[in-house]
Amino acid sequence: MPVPRMSAPPPVEPGLLSRALEVAGRLANDAAEVIIATAGRDRRCGEPENGPPGAEYKANPFDWVTDTDRTLERHTRRVLAAEFPGIPVVGEEYGADPGVAGAEYRWVVDPVDGTANYVAGLPWCAYSLALVDSSGPVVGVIADPNRAQIYAAARGRGVRSNGVPVRIAPRTSPSGGLVCAEQVTEPLLRRAAAAHTGIRVLGSAALAVAQVALGHAVAAVLDSYHEWDVAGALGLALEAGAVVVDRDGRANPLPAGGLLVAVPGVLDEVFGWWRASG
């Protein structure tokens, strides 16, 4: 299929972009320090019911929430309320502020994406923060604490990893590359293997999408997620030159109900695998 094109998003006032990037970067640095200091603390391997102090599960014993999740989201909300008093916040732990539905902008935060990894001490989790408008992510910032990296993007300003510009390299085939996923079907695995492409399931939707923006993966496929899982990383992917489509193959900067993020030259093939996998 031809690479779908998104309509150009509206420009954002430069002062707002600069200030949002600065504040989001500061919050990401704060979060990275806390996550590194506390990940896997007092975890007793082999005893899933005994997480670190302040940890509990929500829907099931693999759906963790921790004091770190709550503390980081409260800190994020306090800072954003002071710096951007007219912009509501949507977060994983404390929901949506009043007025989100009619707001021109909203902040979207996931204080620890990959909490199960964080609880276990597995070094693959992230802090994600995005400023979003009706056309998608305006600013996206991801803290990758275990690699000591802050990934940041703003509409029309590109992507930086610890201040260094990032742009994905063109490809014509997924062969030899990696596809990040969080849920994998047997048909997807079979088609990827036949094309000599690896599938990786690592436990953080934000970092899965970010790998495409950073040039480490050729695509990311997500079948289910919440807006806070992906908003920041999609900001990175779009600014790096990746294509984002929904389940019907339509360009969409922030899809609901399934998404594919891909290097443009591999979109057609990987979308075919995804569609065939049901």
pTM equals: 0.91
Residues 6+ apart with CB under 8 A from 11: 155, 156
- pLDDT tens digits along 71-81: 999 999 999 99
The pLDDT of residue 49 is 52
C-alpha–C-alpha distance, residues 7 and 41, integer Å: 46
Q: What share of the chain is helix, strand, coil (3-state, %, to 5)?
A: 35, 25, 40
Four-residue CA torsion sign, 9, 11, 13, 18: positive
Rounded percentage of the chain residues whose pLDDT exceeds 90: 82
Counted residue by residue, the chain has a size of 278
- pLDDT tens digits along 23-35: 999 999 999 999 9
The pLDDT of residue 67 is 87
Q: Is 19 exposed, middle or buried (0-12, 13-18, 19+ CB in 10 A)?
A: middle
Angle of helix 227-240 relative to helix 205-213, nearest 10 degrees? Answer: 0
Q: In a 3-state reduction of DSSP, which class is residue 199?
A: strand
The pLDDT of residue 50 is 52
Q: Residues 223, 202: contact at Cβ < 8 Å? A: no
- pLDDT tens digits along 211-252: 999 999 999 999 999 999 999 999 999 999 999 999 999 999
The pLDDT of residue 58 is 53
In this prediction, residue 48 has a pLDDT band, given cuts at 50, 70 and 90, of very low
The pLDDT of residue 62 is 42
**Average confidence score pLDDT of the chain:** 91
What is the full DSSP assignment across 109-162? EEEEETHHHHHHT-S--EEEEEEEETTEEEEEEEEEGGGTEEEEEETTTEEEET
C-alpha–C-alpha distance, residues 73 and 181, integer Å: 26
In this prediction, residue 112 has a pLDDT band, given cuts at 50, 70 and 90, of very high
Rounded percentage of the chain residues whose pLDDT exceeds 70: 90
